[in-house]
Amino acid sequence: MKNINLSLAVLMVLLCVAPPINAVESTDEQELAELKKQLMLLTKKVEQLEQKNREKSKQKNNAQQQQSEQVNHNIQPAAKDEQKQEKNDVRLYATLRPTYGYIEESGESFWDVRDALSHAGFKANQHFFDNWSAELHGEWSIDLANNADFGKARQVYVAVNSPAGRLGIGKQRPTQYLFIAEYVDIFNHSNSPFAYDSESVFFVNNLLSYSLKTGDITWMAVSQFDGSKGDSGSDLLNLGASFDRGGFHAGATYLIEDNIVEELVQGEDEVWAVSLAYDITDDFYLATSYQDRTYKHNNAMERSGHTLDIAAAYQLSELFKIKLGYFDFDDGISSVSSGKFNGVNTTLEWLPADNLRFHLEYLHRDFDYLADFSSWTLGFRYDFSHTWQY
């Protein structure tokens, strides 16, 4: 095509620069006529070639479109299968949290290696209908302070998630921990949160749980049914509601639990609780929880106690964070048998990676009747987690 266009351009130039007819001889007229004839033939040839090229281009485009449709047809089923497979997953995880510290306890002082709730487990999810899924969860402690023993169950349950809510059966976290304690449980210690830890629940076996999320509010009810002890009905009932929006949390719960001694019910404990937590900025977090507890035990006077935990965390830099805590526990006993105390916790964390945490902690408990407790602790934490889709 480039050569043809060049020839046409040359002919046009020759025609334009040809001298007037009246200034040349008759042979010039013949040459001009011959050139015009050649120009017409070349123009016709160019049109034929252009038409041929248009047809070839159209055929090529049609072939490419057909090939693309065939490729898409072959890929789409695989993509659907892959999407279907991605609905199901299983996660394996572990966290090791050894500590080494100088401890003053019960009037004695010593160095000791302890554990800050190391554990390992797995969690699987399988979708079987739209908005329906089954959840399998098993988690066991690793007690680095006692021969690194493995095997004490923390959570072992199966749950079903549906548009009508979530129903779980097995050993699980109760409402009291999820709505009240979890928000102040930010420290690297096996007794955190320190006031809540004294007489409150973290995991409950033989538990039936139900939860439903409606907008920003989550409703939850759990009940324990242990036929091997207590009476034939529920041994524990825990109800609560949680409001969560934009880094703000507010929770309220009610708990009533049988006081069981030697497999017999000897009264009950009743607890009303509230919690507040807020990410004030990206770097500053503040939370508090309060429980009012009434002890209604047989052959004993009714008494009232409480737990108060306040926790704060501030990100000093990309690598360092400081945590501060105040706590107060009252068991309602006003004698030497009381375990009343209050105290503080100060922790400096070094965070070189998302799954690595190293900390230096000072903890002090001031007891009303018992010997005070103090400790300086250096601790490591290494988290591992991997998820497979199937």
Question: Which CATH number does the domain housing residue 160 bear?
Answer: 2.40.160.10
pLDDT > 90? residue 79: no
Write down the pLDDT at residue 78.
47
Which residue in 170, 306, 175 sits closest to 239, CA to CA? Answer: 175
Last residue of a domain, one of 53, 79, 105: 79
Structural contact between residues 297 and 305, judged by C-beta atoms closer than 8 angstroms:
no
**Is residue 84 included in any domain, yes or no?**
no
Residue 87 resides in a domain? no
Query: Does the structure show a pLDDT above 50 at 310?
Result: yes
* 369-381 mean pLDDT: 97
Q: Which of 12-26, 141-155, 299-313 has the lowest mean pLDDT?
A: 12-26
Strand partners, 91: 123, 387
Q: Could you say which of 46, 79, 112 is where a domain stops?
A: 79
pLDDT reported for residue 297 = 84
Summarised one tens digit per residue, pLDDT across range 224-256 is 998 877 777 889 999 999 999 999 999 999 999
> 69 and 106: one domain?
no
The tokens of 304 are what? 């009232």
Q: Give residue for tokens 């360092």.
A: 320
Per-residue pLDDT at 352: 98
Ramachandran sector of residue 319 (left: φ over 0; alpha: ψ -120 to 50; beta: rest): alpha
The model's pLDDT over 319-359, given as tens digits with 9 standing for 90+, comes to 999 999 999 999 999 889 899 999 999 999 999 999 999 99
Indicate whether 90 belongs to any domain: no
In a shared domain, residues 46 and 110: no
Whether 74 and 122 map to the same domain: the answer is no
Range of the domain at 205: 95-389
160 and 257 together in one domain: yes
Q: Answer yes or no: do 265 and 147 share one domain.
A: yes
Phi, psi torsion values for 331, nearest 5 degrees: -95, 5
Between residues 295 and 264, which one has the greater pLDDT? Answer: 295
- The Cβ of residue 148 has, within 10 Å, a number of other Cβ atoms equal to 12
Task: Band the pLDDT of 67: cuts 50, 70, 90.
Answer: low
Cβ distance 39 to 47 under 8 Å? Answer: no
- Residues 222, 345, single domain; the answer is yes
- The pLDDT mean for the chain works out to 87
293 and 149, same domain (yes or no): yes
Residues 179 and 281 in one domain: yes
Tell me, yes or no, whether 86 lies in a domain.
no
Residue 155 lies in a domain: yes
Number of domains in the chain: 2
Any idea what the Cα angle at residue 107 is, between residues 106 and 108, rounded to 5°? 95
**Residue 20 DSSP code:** P
Per-residue model confidence (pLDDT) at position 61: 65
For 118-140, what is the mean pLDDT?
A: 96
Establish if 131 belongs to a structural domain: yes
Residues 58 and 165 in one domain: no
Q: 18 is written with which tokens?
A: 């040809």
Q: Are residues 99 and 57 in the same domain?
A: no
Q: Which of 50, 79, 108 is the last residue of a domain?
A: 79
| The predicted structure's pLDDT at residue 231 | 74
Q: Based on the fold, state whether residues 10 and 45 are members of the same structural domain.
A: yes
Dist CA 157 CA 169 (whole Å): 6
